[in-house]
Amino acid sequence: MEWFEKSKIRLCFDENGEFRLLCVSDYHAPAERDWDERLIRAEEALLDEARPDLMMILGDLTHDGALDTRDRLERYAAAIAGPMEARGIPWAHVPGNHDREEGIPTEVFAAYPHCLSVRGPAELPGYGTYLLPVYPSDGGEEPALLIWAFDSHRGGVWERECGIPEPVEFRSQTTGFDRGGGVTHRQALWFWETDCRIEEVFGRRIPGIMLMHSPLAEHRLIPTNPSLTGMTGALEESCGIPSLNSGLFAAAYERGDILAVVAGHDHIKPFAGRYMGIELSEDGSLGYDVYGSDDLRGGRLLTFCEPDVRDFMSEHVYLKNCPGAADFLFREGHDD
């Protein structure tokens, strides 16, 4: 079907009726030197602990075009893909505000046998907005779960795409506004229209989750209302939300089939909570070439079970609790 990208691997629930999704982000490969090898060991430890059926890297694989040569890019891609490829675990990514398509082409990652990353519809701004279906364990052709991946762009996306200056005067740590980018209204319309067409074909709304780098404006409602939203996890920095609200959350709420929205971007804020019945969460930075916290480093694990995928489990898998992680995890003197 035209809205499902032709995938080299069929994602499906396992023989126990379970599907495990691990979300990590914010590797930030540096420009001035090779990346810290502890990143690769961190990937390995998390994969072995979480045992995911799919790992999604939610952006900022690099830092502002740091991978400036093809050789350097290909060596980096081989390094970060290695743990998933060696274990036969499907993986994919969305870009972050520090990534640049001209510096880190999707095709370099997509060349790996287990990578499911695609550019997405040409009519949408940016790259990396796409849909991955997850099929039931019985081999049926009707998806049991939909994974909606979004490019949340970098700062200035509305000015570049629409010619509309962004209200940068609202950017401050007190309000939480951030020029890191955000999902656009065109992408929200794409979700709405595509989801409606899928409902027409299958005769029902298929539960799904949304994944992106920069959080939605509604993410900030979790830490500002921790009791009402049942917030869990940690919050050691402000929530870097976009300067404009695209309406994606409203579209998700009105469609009634989105269970969770997972983001990266904020490195020391692995929290989760529920707003209007939808879980909003962030993971913790996994990279060692950027600010972070060894106490919070890890990934967000979502576990879905048949037959009721709406009753899912969500947890932050702390790297410090993974077997063998203590051998490499901690920095020499914390400089977070």
Residue 5 included in any domain: no
- How confident is the model over 22-67, as pLDDT tens digits? 999 988 887 777 888 899 999 999 999 999 999 999 988 877 666 6
Mean pLDDT across the stretch 72-82? 89
Ranking 15-24, 150-159, 200-209, 261-270 by mean pLDDT, the lowest is 150-159
- The domain in which residue 264 lies consists of 18-327
Residue 79 included in any domain: yes
pTM of the shown model: 0.92
pLDDT at 136 over 50: yes
| 159 token code pair | 């000015």
Residue 96 included in any domain: yes
Domain count, the chain: 1
Residue 7 included in any domain: no
Measured distance CA(21)–CA(27) in Å, rounded: 18
Query: Is 210:260 a contact under the CB 8 Å cutoff?
Result: yes
Residue 335 included in any domain: no
Residue 44 included in any domain: yes
Other Cβ atoms less than 10 A from the Cβ of 324: the count is 12
Residue 245 included in any domain: yes
- How confident is the model over 146-169, as pLDDT tens digits? 999 999 887 666 666 667 776 655
Sign of CA dihedral 291, 70, 54, 246: positive
5-9, 46-50, 94-98, 180-184: which has the highest mean pLDDT? Answer: 46-50
Q: Among residues 93, 97, 103, 159, which one has the least CA distance to residue 128?
A: 93
| Residue 11 binned pLDDT confidence (cut-offs 50, 70, 90) | very high
What value does the mean pLDDT of the chain take? 86
The CATH number for 85's domain is 3.60.21.10
Mean pLDDT across the stretch 270-288? 93
Residue 6 included in any domain: no
| Residue 4 binned pLDDT confidence (cut-offs 50, 70, 90) | confident
Ranking 245-249, 265-269, 316-320 by mean pLDDT, the lowest is 265-269
| 189 token code pair | 């319309």
Sign of CA dihedral 112, 148, 279, 216: positive
pLDDT at 117 over 80: yes
